[in-house]
Amino acid sequence: MDMSMFTEKVGEQLKIFARHCMDDPSLLHDPKLSFIKELIEHYGGKIPESNKNDDPSLGKCEAEIKSEEPQPKAEPESESEESDLELDMSGVIEPDQDSPQKMGNPILQPTEEEIAKSQVERSEAVSAFVEKDYEKAIELYTKAIVLNPQAALLYAKRGQIFLLLNKPNACIRDCERALELNPDSAAAHKFRGRAYHLLGKFEEAANDLRLACKFDFDEQADEWLRETTPNARKIEEHKRKKERRAQEKLERDRQEKLQKAREAAKAREENTRTSQTDPGGASSGIGDFYQFLNDPEVLQAFQDPEVAEAFREISRNPTNILKYQSNPKIMALINKMASKFGGAGGMPGGFPGMMGGMPGGFPGAGGHPNPPKPAPPQDDVGLD
């Protein structure tokens, strides 16, 4: 291959490109540069994995669009749950991430010989602790625990040493085992309370330290309690405010629902009242009909047994009105009803077909004055 094609300018550009690739290896994952990737891998080179966030295939425009996407607005400071909570975090440390320490077999019941050996290891552990050889003290306490895993105090004392080594999580694990064996262990509550304080768990710290002072008061536990109490009270007050706001919101929602229900009921009542007073509505007709019945003249007429019986017959069968066309007393009342309601259609639940709907009607009700006589039976046609 003729190398004369690589001018000085091309060589300089290749150097610049090579430096860019070294600074950002993801460039080599671009499909347009796959031939360079193949060349490197052909000679045993390895290209770092591409970071999806740096994927050049996204393109500049897409990346710009992503950066311009609206981000969710943060809550106003006044509405933030933590806005009114300011704690004194001095003394709080980063949590330890060590593997859990060795614990004894919780179901093992030690023999007298094992208990005696455990006491020896414990004595040596106390000596190491006094000499501030904490690592050795932990090792000796662990041996004592393995021999006698039912001794709550051994776990509490080892937890104390973890606390001195700024390993609050390890201390908490030991104290929890001690409290499983003896819930009234003042030492376990004391050291776990201090460990909680170092982790910034002030409420838990205050609870443990109060119990420690209750079971076996000592000045150090009391001092630690006074140190953690201000933060614990702030958290408690903050929770009370949060609960109160939640209750107030529930009450507001309840009142809004009640108000909406009242408004809906009021709207229904107004609609019902409107329909009852509507001149063209059925309710209006019912009201007029009952007003008609309260007419003194009508009431007096219905007290007549003959009129009452006539209207019962007509109500059962409207064609029975034909029987009373020659009765002026009954027809006067019927004509009055017809003039009031304009026929059967205007009388709610009245006498169907009694007036305007009855063929031929009746005098004074819009029908013929003299209704036609019925035709003779067909059987009489042609007979002398």
**CATH number of the domain that 323 lies in?**
1.10.260.100
Q: pLDDT tens digit string along 10-47?
A: 666 777 777 777 767 777 777 777 777 777 776 667 77
Q: Residue 241 falls within a domain, yes or no?
A: yes
Nearest to 181 by CA among 249, 242, 103: 103
| pLDDT higher than 70, residue 166 | yes
Nearest to 30 by CA among 57, 53, 62, 54: 57
233/315 same-domain check: no
Q: Residue 48 falls within a domain, yes or no?
A: no
Range 180-200 average pLDDT: 96
| pLDDT higher than 60, residue 103 | yes
120/224 same-domain check: yes
For residue 277, give the 3-state DSSP assignment. helix
| pLDDT higher than 60, residue 76 | no
Q: Residue 286 falls within a domain, yes or no?
A: no
264/125 same-domain check: yes
| pLDDT higher than 60, residue 233 | yes
Range 176-189 average pLDDT: 96
Q: What's the pLDDT at 332?
A: 82
Task: Look at the block and give the residue holding tokens 């003896």.
Answer: 182
Q: Residue 384 falls within a domain, yes or no?
A: no
Q: Residue 130 falls within a domain, yes or no?
A: yes
| pLDDT higher than 90, residue 271 | no
181/257 same-domain check: yes
Whether the predicted model's global pTM rises above the 0.85 cut = no
Q: pLDDT tens digit string along 324-382?
A: 888 888 888 788 777 766 544 444 444 444 444 343 344 434 444 444 445 554 444 44
Range 50-68 average pLDDT: 43
Range of the domain at 225: 93-272
Tokens representing residue 34 in the block: 């796959």
Q: What's the pLDDT at 72?
A: 45
Q: Is 364 exposed, middle or buried (0-12, 13-18, 19+ CB in 10 A)?
A: middle
Tokens representing residue 87 in the block: 């704690």
250/172 same-domain check: yes
Q: Residue 288 falls within a domain, yes or no?
A: no
pLDDT band at 157 (very low <50, low <70, confident <90, very high): very high
CATH (domain of 263) = 1.25.40.10
Q: What's the pLDDT at 34?
A: 73
120/225 same-domain check: yes
254/172 same-domain check: yes
103/228 same-domain check: yes
Positive or negative: CA dihedral 284, 286, 291, 296: positive
145/253 same-domain check: yes
Nearest to 146 by CA among 110, 98, 183, 191: 110
The rounded mean pLDDT for the chain is 77
Q: Residue 376 falls within a domain, yes or no?
A: no
Total structural domains within the chain: 3
Q: Residue 198 falls within a domain, yes or no?
A: yes
18/152 same-domain check: no
Positive or negative: CA dihedral 127, 133, 136, 139: positive
259/326 same-domain check: no
Q: Residue 273: count other Cβ atoms within 10 Å of its Cβ.
A: 11
